[in-house]
């Protein structure tokens, strides 16, 4: 996308008044504007800057994998445990197996889930930026789905330094 800026003159064409000075600047305006500090919610940890923490969670011998209302509430609880803000939850249930795929859309990124009830397996992604801690969602997920086994792979996404 290419944006074009228009040059707009603030210079007064009439006599000066309480708002406009003779140099065309507003009387309450300063000549230089300092740029605002960067607030991109990147994480700064141990000298490394990155977009966020991404957990790839495998739950084995799990339960409640076809209960769509239960899954929605569990995703909301997991987000809350991590300190995240839920914006929306979208889930779809498959008619052939009863498996569920979906996502909790967070202000800080997302938690997604895909279940295979025929294998008692769920694959969950937890990706968060800012001050949220996705690791805090793990006890909620393991307990709610009564998983006998959990595997977690961790990644830092968008490493800058």
DSSP 23-74: TSSBTT--S--PPPPP----EEETTEEESEEEEEEEEES---TT-HHHHHHH
Instruction: Provide mean pLDDT across the span 65-70.
Output: 98
Confidence of residue 2 (pLDDT cuts 50, 70, 90): very low
Question: What confidence score (pLDDT) does residue 37 get?
Answer: 64
Which three-class secondary structure string do you get for 94-135?
CCCCCCEEEEEEECCEEEEEEEEHHHCEEEEEEEECCCCCHH
Q: What is the mean pLDDT of the segment spanning 72-86? A: 98
pLDDT score for 40: 78
**How does residue 161 score in pLDDT terms, banded at 50, 70 and 90?**
confident
Q: How far apart are CA 144 and CA 128, in angstroms?
A: 20
**Residue 80 pLDDT exceeds 60:** yes
* CA diameter of the chain: 80
Q: Which residues contact 145 (CB under 8 A, 6 or more apart)?
A: 59, 62, 63, 64, 65, 74, 122
**Predicted local distance difference test score (pLDDT) of residue 6:** 37
* Mean pLDDT across 8-17: 44
Percent pLDDT > 90 in the chain is: 71
160 pLDDT above the threshold of 50: yes
SS3 for 140?
A: helix
Cα–Cα dist 114/65, whole Å:
9
User: What was the pLDDT predicted at 41?
Assistant: 87
3-class secondary structure, 76: helix
Query: Which residue's structure tokens are 């968060």?
Result: 128
The overall average pLDDT reported for the chain is 84
pLDDT exceeds 50 at position 13: no
β-pairing, 100-106 with 48-50? unpaired
Q: Which residues are catalytic?
A: 109, 114, 129
């Amino acid at each position: 996308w290419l944006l074009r800026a228009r040059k707009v003159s603030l210079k007064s064409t009439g006599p000066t008044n309480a708002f406009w000075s003779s140099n065309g600047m507003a009387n309450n305006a300063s000549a230089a504007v300092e740029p605002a500090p960067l607030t991109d919610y990147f994480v700064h940890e141990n000298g490394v800057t990155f977009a966020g923490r991404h957990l790839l969670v495998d739950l084995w011998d799990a339960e409640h994998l076809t209960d769509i209302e239960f899954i929605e509430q569990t995703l909301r609880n997991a987000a809350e445990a991590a300190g995240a803000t839920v914006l929306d939850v979208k889930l779809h249930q498959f008619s052939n197996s009863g498996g569920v795929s979906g996502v909790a859309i967070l202000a800080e990124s997302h938690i997604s889930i895909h279940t295979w009830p025929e294998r008692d397996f769920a694959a969950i992604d937890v990706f968060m930026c800012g001050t949220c801690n996705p690791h805090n969602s793990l006890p909620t997920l393991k307990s709610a789905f009564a998983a006998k086994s959990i595997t977690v792979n961790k990644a830092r996404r968008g490493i800058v330094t």
